[in-house]
Structures are given as C-alpha cells and as structure tokens.
Amino acid sequence: MKELIHSLLLMAGLVGLLGLVGCSSLGSSSVSVPSSAPVIQASAEGIDMGDHALVRQQLLAQLSEWKGVPYQFGGLTKQGVDCSGFIYLTFAEEFGIRIPRTTQSQVLKGQVIDQADLVPGDLVFFMTGYNQRHIGIYVGKKQFIHTSSSRGVMLSRLDNPYWQSAYWHSRRIAL
C-alpha cells in the first residue's frame, strides 16, 4: 500500500511538495494536547540557551534519540509525531521550556529574527503550501531538525533549494 501511494505521488509530481513536509494548516483545526499525552519531565532544567555549543549538543542528542520516528498528525510519541509536536517535546525535554503545542501558536512566540542571525535553538518556519506551515529547530551550520511526512524526524539543510524557497521566517524564544 505504501508503495502504491508513493507511486501515485510520483506520478502526480507532488513528492517535492508533499513528501518533505506535512505539518499544519492555518485553518480552524488545531491539535490540542490530549489528556493521555505523556507527562513531560524536563531533563535539562537550567540550560543556558545562550550557550550555543551546549544547545547544539542537546539538539543533536534529541535528533539521535528521535531520528526516523514517523510523522503522525497530532502525534506526541515515538510511535509518531508531527512537526509542532516534536518542537514542543524537544523544548520541554531538552531545555525545560514549555511552548505552545501547535505551529499556529508557536509562530506567535518569541521575537522575529533574520535568517542570518540564527543560533542553535531558534525556530525556523516554512510555508509549504496554501495555508500549510512547517516548523523546525535550527541546530547551527545551516541545519535544522524537523519531522518530515515521508522520512520522519530528520536533519535537513536550510540552504537546500526546497527549504530556501519555502522559508517564511525565524523566531527566538524569549525566556
């Protein structure tokens, strides 16, 4: 079945647009944190977000732990997670910081920064289609981690032509 879906997407020429992302729309639907969601224990309380090397190290450790976890809309577990859920969990688990659960709410937090000023831990936002938004966390060296609809949690390059064309803006979470 998976191969059939993949073939259909290839034939339609949509793999480049749909295969890389699949996060949220700006419509009226939103994902709320279910009462059955895992209790998040902050594993890194007190981390100085200004220590960019340490933030990068924590983010790469999170990537190592979650790499390949499949995309699932509304997911918050290692059985499946969406892009905003991965960001939500990463900030809580790695930095002890609570941020909103949805991309629609995350895009309103922190301050807008220029792409040239990105440091590890900054949020990067993309417009991936009509009313479709995607989010990742910048880890430095022109790379960010996110949840791809086709490849799950992964590392991508911000200077990849697809991501450069979809880039919307970046935000730094104010503490």
Please give the domain boundaries of the chain with CATH numbers for all domains. 39-172 (3.90.1720.10)
DSSP string, 42-82: PSSTT--TT-HHHHHHHHHHHHHHHTTPPB-TT-EETTEE-
Q: Could you read off the pLDDT of 109-158 as tens digits, one per residue?
A: 999 999 999 999 999 999 998 888 999 999 999 999 999 999 999 999 99
CA distance 97 to 129: 29
State whether the Cα torsion 130-113-111-171 is positive or negative. positive
Rg (CA), the chain: 15
Provide the whole-model pTM: 0.77
The residues annotated with a catalytic role in the active site are 83, 134, 146
Whether 46 shows a pLDDT value over 50: the answer reads yes
Q: Could you read off the pLDDT of 59-85 as tens digits, one per residue?
A: 999 999 999 999 999 999 999 999 999
What Å distances lie between residue 85 and 6, 25, 70, 164, CA to CA?
Answer: 25, 14, 12, 23
CA distance 69 to 51: 28
